[in-house]
Amino acid sequence: MSLVSAFTSAVLPIVAVMALGYTLATALDVEVDSLNDVALYLFLPALIFHSIVTTTLSGDTVALIFAGVGLFVIVTMGLVELLDRLLGVPEPYRSADVLAGALPNAGFYGIPLAEFAFGDVGRTTAVIYITAQAFLMYTLGVYVASRGGGEAGIGAVKEIFRLPLVYAIAVAGTVRLLGIAPPTDGTFMSTVSLVGDASIPLMLVIVGVQLYGLKYGNVRRVIRPSIVKLVVAPLTGLAVALALGKFGDVAVARVFVLLCATPVALIPLALTLSYSDVDDRDGLSASEYLTMTIFVTTVASVPVLTVLITLLQDGVVL
């Protein structure tokens, strides 16, 4: 596959729909929280349920994906922590770097990207990835953001059980285990599929609206963490995929590496705003620092992911 083909078939649709969301936000007073709630509580659970119930992935592969996400997050956090300590990066920026490097936007950005690039296996792998990542975000992620934030950090773990996606994957897994999945061409599954498919453009519109709402500063301050996110993180993902035997499915391994390379998610910013009580340094808060990292990695991800998709689909990588 050529770079042009990879861009037009997988990356351009992502950029185009995000641009529509950004443009919409400039013209209208869009309530992004409302859009986010609709996606999280209606469309995304439907997508997860349909993807899990109809997937051809084995239970062993699903378990390996969960293990892979855990290994990727832990190893990446450790690498970024070590690098920042060696470079003398102070708090709160060190914690921001750790969150940015280890928590990619595998959901609202990654699910559509994986589907455009790898079809159904891409979507299903991304769905499983974000479910595993959700547990880590509200445990390790909260710890890093608060660095011993006491009861606030412990209480935040309860947020896991408020996420509809957790229950969607639990119900879908139970349905598969009991062998009571409804017919895929029946009314129920067709309706679920329709609602789930609607989540793809909606998630990208939300990313565009969120990018419009970010306040940008001096991007030179975040070149280093951006390089770590777009270069070191996917290399770590590749190492994890190889260590786990390519998850028993090379297509899944390729999607996994792609998801690890997606830009910084918005969740690290939310965690920092909620649980970081460290004062600003050098006139720049941790949240502002993360905001710039999100912006830079999102923009820079366009050429990076285009090249990566080409290498993955051609079998040069994996």
pLDDT per residue as tens digits for the range 25-34: 999 988 888 9
Using only C-alpha atoms, the chain has a radius of gyration, in whole angstroms, of: 19
How many beta carbons lie within 10 A of that of residue 46, not counting itself? Answer: 20
Q: Is the pLDDT of residue 99 over 60?
A: yes
- CB of 261 closer than 8 Å to CB of 301: yes
Class assignment of domain 3-313? mainly alpha
- Bridge partner residues of 104 (DSSP): 264
Give percent of the chain with pLDDT exceeding 90: 65
Q: Is the pLDDT of residue 63 over 80?
A: yes
Specify the pTM: 0.91
* pLDDT computed for residue 145 by the predictor: 81
* pLDDT computed for residue 288 by the predictor: 83
Q: Is the pLDDT of residue 64 over 60?
A: yes
Distance CA 169, CA 272 (A): 27
* pLDDT computed for residue 148 by the predictor: 39
Instruction: Look at residue 277 and give its three-state secondary structure.
Output: coil
Q: Taking residues 148-154, what's their average pLDDT?
A: 47
- CB of 40 closer than 8 Å to CB of 230: no
Helix and strand numbers, DSSP H then E, in the chain: 16, 0
Distance CA 52, CA 57 (A): 9
pLDDT tier at 150, thresholds 50, 70, 90: very low
- When the pLDDT of each residue in the chain is averaged and rounded to a whole number, the result is 89
Distance CA 289, CA 263 (A): 15
Distance CA 219, CA 226 (A): 10
Q: How would you classify residue 148: left for phi > 0, otherwise alpha for psi between -120 and 50, otherwise beta?
A: left
- What digits encode the pLDDT tens for the residues 234-265? 999 999 999 999 999 999 999 999 999 999 99
Distance CA 262, CA 226 (A): 11
In order of 87, 95, 123, the CA distances from 275 in angstroms are: 24, 11, 32
- CB of 73 closer than 8 Å to CB of 138: no
Single-letter residue type at 101: G
Q: Is the pLDDT of residue 278 over 80?
A: no
Listed residue (141, 171, 170, 89) closest to 268, CA to CA: 141
Averaging pLDDT over each range in 140-149, 180-189, 207-216, 235-244, which range is the top one? 235-244
The contacts of residue 41 (CB under 8 Å, 6+ apart) are: 164
